[in-house]
Structure 1
Amino acid sequence: MLQPYLALLRKPHVRTALTTNIMGRLPNGMAVLALTLLFRHEGVDFGVVGLLIAVYGVGTAVGGPVLGRIVDFYGQPLVLLTSGAASAAAFAVLALAPDAPLAAALPLTAVAGALTPPLESCLRSVWPTLVSDEQERETAYSLDAALQEVIFVTAPLLVSAVAALFLPMHAVLATALITVVGAAVFASLRPVRRWRPVPRKANWLGPLVEPQVRRVLVCFVFVGAALGALAVGAVAYSEEAASRDVSGLLLSANGLGALIGGLTYGAVRVPLPPARRFRVLLAGLALCYLPLLLMPGVALMTVLAGLSGLFLAPALACTFLLLGRLAPQGTTTEAFSWLISMFMCGSALGTALAGVAADMAGASGVFVVTGAVTVTAALLSLRVSGEPGAAAQNPAAAAEVSHATQDRPEER
Structure 2
Amino acid sequence: MVGPYRGLFSMPGTKGFVIAGFVGRMPMSMLGIGIVLLISTLTGSYATAGAISATVAIAFAVAAPLSGRLVDRFGQARVLVPLVFLHGAALIAMMLFAEYEAPIWTLFASGVVVGGAATSLGSMVRARWSHLLGGSAQLHTAFSFESVADEVIFVAGPALVTGLTTMVNLYAGLIVALVCTVIGTVAFALQRRTEPPARPAMAEAGSPIMIPGVALLSCVFLAMGAVFGSVDLITVAFAEDNGAKAASGLLLGAFAGGSMVSGLWYGLRQWRISLRHRFVRGLGVFAIGLTPILVIADTKVMAVGLFFAGLAISPTIITGYALIERLVPAHLMTEGMSWISTAVGFGVALGAWAGGRLTDSFGASNAYAFSIVSALLAVAIGVGGSTWLRTPETDAPGAHSAAT
TM-score range, shorter chain: 0.7 to 0.9
1:27-66 correspondence to structure 2 within 5 Å: 27-35=27-35, 46=45, 51-66=51-66
Aligned partners of 1:257 and 1:310 also within 8 Å: yes
Aligned to 1:330: 331
SS at 1:309 equivalent: helix
Whether the aligned pair in 2 keeps the contact of 1:89 and 1:176 (CA below 8 Å) is no
Deviations 1:185-236 (A, max 9, x none): 10111344453348537556x1111111111111111112222333455467
Residue 226 of structure 2 corresponds to which residue in structure 1? 225
Rg bigger for which structure? 1
Secondary structure of the structure 2 residue equivalent to 1:117: coil
TM-score, normalized by length of structure 2?
Answer: 0.81
Distance change in 2, residues 1:227/1:49 (3 Å): closer
Deviation at 1:29, TM superposition (A): 3.0
Q: Which amino acid aligns with 1:79?
A: V
**2:205 is equivalent to residue 186 of structure 1:** no
Is the Cα contact below 8 Å between 2:38 and 2:171 reproduced in 1?
Answer: yes
Q: What's the counterpart of residue 8 of structure 2?
A: 8
Write the letter of the residue equivalent to 2:112: A
Aligned position for 2:279 = 278
Secondary structure of 1:270 counterpart: coil
User: C-alpha distance in 2, partners of 1:276/1:169?
Assistant: 44
**Comparing 152-161 with 220-229, which one deviates more in the overlay?**
152-161
- Distance in 2 (CA, whole Å) between partners of 1:180 and 1:236 is 30
One-letter amino acid of the counterpart of residue 180, structure 1: V
Q: Find the counterpart in structure 1 of residue 252 from structure 2.
A: 251
Q: Which moved more, 1:135-144 or 1:364-373?
A: 364-373
Q: Could you tell me which amino acid in structure 2 is paired with residue 386 of structure 1?
A: L
After superposition, where does 1:6-405 map in structure 2 within 5 Å? 6-35=6-35, 46=45, 51-95=51-95, 98-99=99-100, 101-102=102-103, 105-159=107-161, 168=170, 172-193=174-195, 195-197=197-199, 199-200=201-202, 202=204, 206-231=207-232, 234=235, 247-295=248-296, 300-328=301-329, 330-354=331-355, 365-382=366-383, 383-384=385-386, 385-387=388-390
C-alpha contact 1:77 1:192 (8 A) present in aligned 2: no
Distance 1:293 1:33, change over 3 A: closer
Aligned equivalents of 2:300, 2:49: Cα separation in 1: 34
Displacement of 1:316 after TM fit? 0.8
Give 1:252 shift.
2.5
Residue deviations 1:231-254 (CA, integer Å, cap 9, x gap): 4554676678x6766655543321
- The residue type equivalent to 1:151 in the other structure is I
- Post-superposition offset of 1:89: 2.5
Report the alpha carbon displacement of residue 16 of structure 1 after superposing the two structures with TM. Answer: 1.9
| Structure 2: distance between partners of 1:66 and 1:399 | 28
Deviation at 1:284, TM superposition (A): 1.8
Shift of 1:112: 2.1
Deviates more, 1:328-337 or 1:289-298: 289-298
Contact 2:29 2:154 in 1 (8 A): yes
Q: State how far apart, in whole Å, the 2-side matches of 1:31 and 1:192 are.
A: 28
Residues 24 and 237 of structure 1, relative CA distance in 2, 3 Å threshold: closer
Cα deviations by residue, 1:333-361 (Å, 9 ceiling, x for unpaired):
11221211211221232344445655776
Find the residue that maps to 1:281 and give its secondary structure.
helix
Give the whole-Å Cα distance in 2 for the aligned partners of 1:159 and 1:202.
40
- For this pair of structures, how many residues does the alignment match? 389
C-alpha distance in structure 2 between counterparts of 1:169 and 1:254, whole Å? 25
* CA displacement, residues 87-137 of structure 1 (integer Å, 9 cap, x when unaligned): 122234445665384465543332222111331111111112333454321
Write out per-residue CA displacement over residues 241-276 of structure 1, whole angstroms, 9 at most, x where no aligned residue: x67666555433211101101111111121122222
Determine the C-alpha separation between the residues in 1 that align with 2:165 and 2:299. 31
Q: Sort the Cα spacing of 1:38 and 1:117 in 2 relative to 1 into closer, same or farther, 3 A.
A: same
Distance 1:127 1:72 in 2: 15
Query: How far apart are 1:321 and its partner, in Å?
Result: 1.0
Give the fraction of aligned pairs with identical amino acids, expressed as a percent: 26
User: How many angstroms apart in 2 are the aligned matches of 1:268 and 1:313?
Assistant: 14
SS of the counterpart of 1:195? Answer: coil
Judge conservation of contact 2:203–2:332 (CA < 8 Å) in 1: no
Distance 1:136 1:14 in 2: 13
The answer to which of 78-87 and 360-369 deviates more is 360-369
Give 1:332 deviation, angstroms: 1.9
What is the alpha-carbon distance in structure 1 between the residues aligned to residue 369 and residue 44 of structure 2?
Answer: 32
Residues 157 and 351 from structure 1, CA distance in 2 versus in 1: closer, same or farther, beyond 3 angstroms?
Answer: closer
SS at match of 1:311: helix
Quickly say closer, same or farther: Cα 1:178–1:290, change in 2 above 3 A.
Answer: closer
How far apart in 1 are the matches of 2:337 and 2:70?
13
Note closer, same or farther for the CA distance 1:31–1:293 as it changes in structure 2 (3 Å cut). closer
8 Å contact 1:186–1:192 — kept in the other structure? no
1:285-313 CA-to-partner distances (Å, cap 9, x unmatched) read 12222333453765554333211100101
Once the two structures are superposed, residues 116-160 of structure 1 have per-residue CA deviations (whole angstroms, 9 ceiling, x without a partner) of 133111111111233345432122112211221222343345546
Q: Which has the higher helix share?
A: 2
In structure 2, what is the Cα distance between the partners aligned to 1:340 and 1:73? Answer: 19
